[in-house]
Structure 1
Amino acid sequence: MTHPVTRTRPTALAVWLIIAGVIGWWAAFSLTMERIHLLANPDAILGCDISPLVQCGKNLASWQGSLFGFPNPILGLTGWMAPIVVGVAILAGARFARWFWWMFETGVTLAFVFVIWLIGQSIFVLGTLCPWCMVTWAVTIPTFYAVTLHILRTGILPAPAVIRSGADRLMGWVPLLAVISYAIVAVLAQLRLDVLGALF
């Protein structure tokens, strides 16, 4: 029976975590600045308000945009630092304890669930597509896939050998899994909001 090779330094994962963290943090920062601008001038037209369909003003002003009593982008400003730090640490040769990976996976999973909820709210309730929100969605989804598959293939998360082997093979398909996920979101948005009709 073959077992996946244990990777002591998953360089590709580390690089992705840094890239995703930087992109996600920038999106959160941009949304935070837009929120501050909206607070200072409630009648302002935000830079991300491209059309009635593609905008962030409605999302930021909704209760969904402040689910925990403060603007959601603040979660991103703090949360996206974790992948950056973890990625840099891995490249520097750090090796994390099993409990650390479990905590990191828990955070990534919660972020993924939150993003799925936000996607549903945007498409089916608010009827808008927030540009900076979509950037966040775009990096959160593959990050969840990559981290989850990594802890499965290395045995950090206990799993039968067949699951570890499958996770190891799927790791190379994370970009395709992400594209498929984007396509599902795009189809839902098109069916619900007629995006193409609104844009063209």
Structure 2
Amino acid sequence: MSRDETNTRPTVLAVFLILAGIIGEIAAFALTVEKIHTLSSPGESLSCDFSVLVQCGANLESWQGSVFGFPNPLLGLAGWAAPIAVGISILAGARFARWYWALFNLGLAGALAFVIWLISQSIFVLGTLCPWCMVTWSVTIPAFLAVTLYNLKAGNLPAPAGVRRAAGALYGWLVPLTLACYLIVAVIAQVRLDVLQHL
């Protein structure tokens, strides 16, 4: 591999994907354990139930917690393996075809869409903030942003030159962009649930 190829390998993105995947797996595992607890000991409070507002019991026991007929955390256990595998493969020297990056991006877009729906259900319907769910939200958002901006600037997704340049510029602003997304969710939660009053 030439020096230029080595320099263009997205190692920072790879490390981030591994870390995000590990954090996502931890959250999904914790939620799976809590779901098993609700099945084995119905009526008992969960370790992630801190108050009427901050809890995961209501989320896990709702229909929204098993949208596809099985507990949502199982999606996380399976899904977060993909970013870990992609990150490790990049660090090992793998170079993926454009279609591979596009499919990976599509998977993250699906994850983000599902997370946005879960956020809306949690805030507007269930009236709760699930701690482990929020951990999942907090890594899904930047994972989608990072991969999408990388794919646009690298030309893995079809886009005009101006969009590619803009994506390249925004790629360096990933942390502020992520924080802005967190702030939007926090403001919505505060307006709807008056979170600060319940702390």
Residue 55 of structure 2 aligns to a residue whose secondary structure is coil
Are 1:81 and 2:81 counterparts?
yes
The aligned counterpart of 1:186 is 186
The aligned counterpart of 1:136 is 136
The Cα shift of 1:190 comes to 0.5
**Contact 1:8–1:95 (Cα < 8 Å) also in 2:** no
Residue 172 of structure 2 aligns to a residue whose secondary structure is helix
The aligned counterpart of 1:162 is 162
Distance 1:12 1:168 in 2: 14
Name the stretch that deviates more: 78-87 or 155-164.
155-164
Residues matched between the structures, number = 195
4+ runs deviating over 4 angstroms: none
The aligned counterpart of 2:106 is 106
Residue 29 of structure 2 aligns to a residue whose secondary structure is helix
The Cα shift of 1:84 comes to 0.2
The Cα shift of 1:99 comes to 1.2
The Cα shift of 1:113 comes to 0.4
The Cα shift of 1:8 comes to 3.7
The aligned counterpart of 2:122 is 122
**Contact 1:27–1:135 (Cα < 8 Å) also in 2:** yes
The aligned counterpart of 1:15 is 15
Query: Structure 1: which amino acid aligns with 2:164?
Result: R
Are 1:147 and 2:147 counterparts?
yes
The aligned counterpart of 1:49 is 49
Q: Give the aligned CA root-mean-square deviation in angstroms.
A: 1.2
Distance 1:167 1:176 in 2: 14
Distance 1:116 1:62 in 2: 17
The Cα shift of 1:167 comes to 0.5
Residue 21 of structure 2 aligns to a residue whose secondary structure is helix
Distance 2:113 2:173 in 1: 21
Query: Structure 2: which amino acid aligns with 1:33?
Result: V
The Cα shift of 1:43 comes to 1.1
Distance 1:37 1:186 in 2: 29
The aligned counterpart of 1:62 is 62
**Contact 1:127–1:193 (Cα < 8 Å) also in 2:** yes
**Contact 1:109–1:144 (Cα < 8 Å) also in 2:** yes
The Cα shift of 1:97 comes to 1.1
Q: Deviations over 1:140-196 (max 9, x none)?
A: 000000000011001111111111111011101111111000000000000000000
Query: Structure 1: which amino acid aligns with 2:49?
Result: D
**Contact 1:21–1:84 (Cα < 8 Å) also in 2:** yes
Query: Structure 1: which amino acid aligns with 2:128?
Result: T
Distance 2:9 2:169 in 1: 17
Normalised by the size of structure 1, how large is the TM-score?
A: 0.95
Structure 2: tracts of 5 or more residues without a match: none
The aligned counterpart of 2:97 is 97
Query: Structure 1: which amino acid aligns with 2:45?
Result: I
Normalised by the size of structure 2, how large is the TM-score?
A: 0.96
